[in-house]
Amino acid sequence: RGKTPLGRPGLLLGIGDDAAAFEPWQRPVVVTTDAVVEGVHWRHDLIGADGVGHRLLAANLSDLAAMGAQPLYGFLNLGLRPETEVAWVDDFLDGLLGLAGCFGLTLAGGDVVRSAANFASLTAVGRAGPRLLRRSDAKAGQVVVVSGPLGDAGAYVLMSERGLAIDSEWGVTFRRAFHRPWPAIDLGRALADLESPAAMGAVMDLSDGLAIDLPRLCLASGLRAIVEADKLPVSTALWNLAEALDLPVWELAVRGGEDFGLLFTCPEETAAGLMRSTAAEIAGGLTVIGRVTEDQRVLIRAEGESLALPRPQFVHFGAADPR
Amino acid sequence: RGKTPLGRPGLLLGIGDDAAAFEPWQRPVVVTTDAVVEGVHWRHDLIGADGVGHRLLAANLSDLAAMGAQPLYGFLNLGLRPETEVAWVDDFLDGLLGLAGCFGLTLAGGDVVRSAANFASLTAVGRAGPRLLRRSDAKAGQVVVVSGPLGDAGAYVLMSERGLAIDSEWGVTFRRAFHRPWPAIDLGRALADLESPAAMGAVMDLSDGLAIDLPRLCLASGLRAIVEADKLPVSTALWNLAEALDLPVWELAVRGGEDFGLLFTCPEETAAGLMRSTAAEIAGGLTVIGRVTEDQRVLIRAEGESLALPRPQFVHFGAADPR
């Protein structure tokens, strides 16, 4: 127990003692934490309790994915209004524990407290892979890659806010993206497993949309980037929405947050190799969207012009509290 | 780095990337989490922001102390009403980081979110000592020991609730106990360092008062206990309060919560040895208050009778949400 670096470390003490304890391991310990509040990060008319639980854990796991870590243990603090129904809490836990089960994460501790507003605060602990993936490791000339289609989760919020019918065929795509985001754990671990450090660049997760997250990655790396609007991976549903709203589809793609895919940079040949991997397939596919530069600004080439990446004009849940 | 089991493991990545990462170590990883909510766990008329920050971390550290762990990293989620003043947040962090500095705990991550009620959720990560201290390891015939005086923090809340003047000489003792509890980290580590496993029994921290916590320890160990009312360690201040309220002082001692000392069982000779240690002195002294039995109930011998340990009759902050 606890001797082989790749075995799953066992829980020595779980809920019921003063604290949880688990076996140590021989790679860095990775920890992330997130909190969501009723009325700020979720609205009852847009999402059920199971979706809130799923999305909170997905945000945590997405952070672990961006470090290349394997999820192991979670710690949950729940603040509940006295009139909150038990069924709501059950549904919340169903959503959270369902996703936890998919990745082998064990809920090992937590607390329930009374509160004037419902909130949930989750801390996840994971084990790093052979290498830690950082935001600051981009190198000039590397390609910029994203996983999955962009903008679908944001499109769900946009449609809801504008009162557009989300029971259309494409509404289903957005609803799924918003309610059941799939964190790119397998992809993150595949990136951390690459044999040569030179094979990888910077990595982060797409939590606030490309227009916010790509400049963050560039800032951390001390570099810039240029992306091609017509290379951004978008769903047919997003094309349809863009047409209905008379907006360029790339604007919806870069502004929508909470897709929870990965954004990373790497040499062109690494990207080519990764695209054929199962991890890439599970993550919804990989797309090279641009290149790291030593330019002055982070740019997008669209409609024949090079533009600054636009800041989001509509507020999605969570954008009020950018991380 | 990270090679010697007793060196402090380094932070590899702190605030600013997707997650924090730190060097692994060779002993169990201990994690605890607590949340406090404005109006439920603290009232502005009873405590300042610095006290709230100090107490939240003290509760976390007290849990680590009860496991015999060394505190290493903390992760804080803050929920804030939009009208919360920056000075309040500064004071809160001063209180929390001041205590963190005393024990070498580094704040390595967290989030600030908007909320309808102010709340703080803290997760602390520590490294176990040579042995994990559990609630379930009591053995019949061992003595029951507590650290520090009992009931002073609870007395502060009681006086506030009854509108009694807390600017009296004894009020100062209670105020200090309530505002600046000192977690028994050194004592916990000393207990975990004892050479023979047979030298120790069960350990937990006194967060809800002896009347609640001792039955919990007994339940976890499948045993019972009897304590002597006239052996309970109490301050002169508590004697004075008991006289003013015409209550037996032992009732105030067993009912007051949030003293954050340790409650443990061990062979009589271990207790005798520990009492002369520096760790015991830092923890406010050790007192043998009774003995573990195979009896039917958890009892207190007071005024010539053996009584069931009374449940608290006044609610202190936090008792509304027993852990």
The answer to whether the Cβ–Cβ distance between B33 and A113 falls below 8 Å is: no
Which residue intervals of chain B are DSSP H helices? 49-67, 86-103, 152-161, 169-179, 185-193, 210-221, 236-245, 249-255, 268-274, 278-282
Write the pLDDT tens digit of every residue in A223-248: 999 999 999 999 999 999 999 999 99
Closest to B289 measured CA to CA, from B189, B217, B240 = B217
Q: Pairing mode, if any, of strands B286-293 and B143-147?
A: antiparallel
- Give the mean pLDDT of B104-122: 95
pTM of the model: 0.90
Distance between CA A84 and CA B178 in Å, rounded?
Answer: 31
What phi and psi, each to the nearest 5 degrees, are found at residue B208? Answer: -110, 5
Q: How many C-beta atoms surround the C-beta of residue A28 within 10 A?
A: 25
A28 touches chain B (CB under 8 A): yes
B11 touches chain A (CB under 8 A): no
Dig out the tokens for B307 from the structure.
Answer: 């009584």
What one-character DSSP code corresponds to residue A211? H
At B43 the three-state DSSP class reads: coil
- State yes or no: pLDDT of A280 exceeds 80: yes
| Whether the Cβ atoms of residue B266 and residue B290 lie closer than 8 Å to each other | no
Write the pLDDT tens digit of every residue in B274-294: 999 999 999 999 999 999 999
A84 touches chain B (CB under 8 A): no
A114 touches chain B (CB under 8 A): yes
The length of chain B, given as a count of residues: 323
Which one-letter amino acid corresponds to residue B93? L
Dig out the tokens for A55 from the structure.
Answer: 């999305």
What phi and psi, each to the nearest 5 degrees, are found at residue B64? Answer: -65, -40
More confident residue, A298 or A160: A298
Q: To which H or E segment does residue A81 belong? A: none
The answer to whether the Cβ–Cβ distance between A79 and B119 falls below 8 Å is: yes
Minimal Cα distance from A113: which residue of B? B321
Distance between CA A161 and CA B111 in Å, rounded?
Answer: 26
Contacts of residue A276, defined as CB under 8 A and 6 or more positions apart, other chains included, come to none
Q: To which H or E segment does residue B184 belong? A: none
- State yes or no: pLDDT of A167 exceeds 90: no
Residue B6 is predicted with a pLDDT of 59
Q: Which of B6, B26, B29, B221 to mutate to test the interface with A (most CBs of A within 10 A)?
A: B29
The answer to whether the Cβ–Cβ distance between B114 and A67 falls below 8 Å is: no
Tokens 């797309």: give the residue: A287
| Whether the Cβ atoms of residue B106 and residue B74 lie closer than 8 Å to each other | yes
Q: How many CA atoms lie within 13 A of A85 on its CB side?
A: 5
Write the pLDDT tens digit of every residue in A102-137: 999 999 999 999 999 999 999 999 999 999 999 999
Q: Pairing mode, if any, of strands B119-127 and A203-205?
A: unpaired
The complex scores an ipTM of 0.87
Q: Which of residues 124-153 of A touch B (CB under 8 A)?
A: 125-126, 128, 132, 134-136
- State yes or no: pLDDT of A36 exceeds 90: yes
Q: How far, in Å, are A46, A89, B88, B255, B320 from residue B40 at the CA level?
A: 29, 20, 17, 19, 8
Distance between CA B98 and CA B74 in Å, rounded?
Answer: 13
A216 CA: distance to closest CA in chain B (Å): 10
The answer to whether the Cβ–Cβ distance between B205 and A18 falls below 8 Å is: yes
- State yes or no: pLDDT of A322 exceeds 80: no
B66 CA: distance to closest CA in chain A (Å): 7
Q: Which of A17, A22, A41, A315 to mutate to test the interface with B (most CBs of B within 10 A)?
A: A17
Contacts of residue B321, defined as CB under 8 A and 6 or more positions apart, other chains included, come to A111, A112, A113, A114, B40, B41
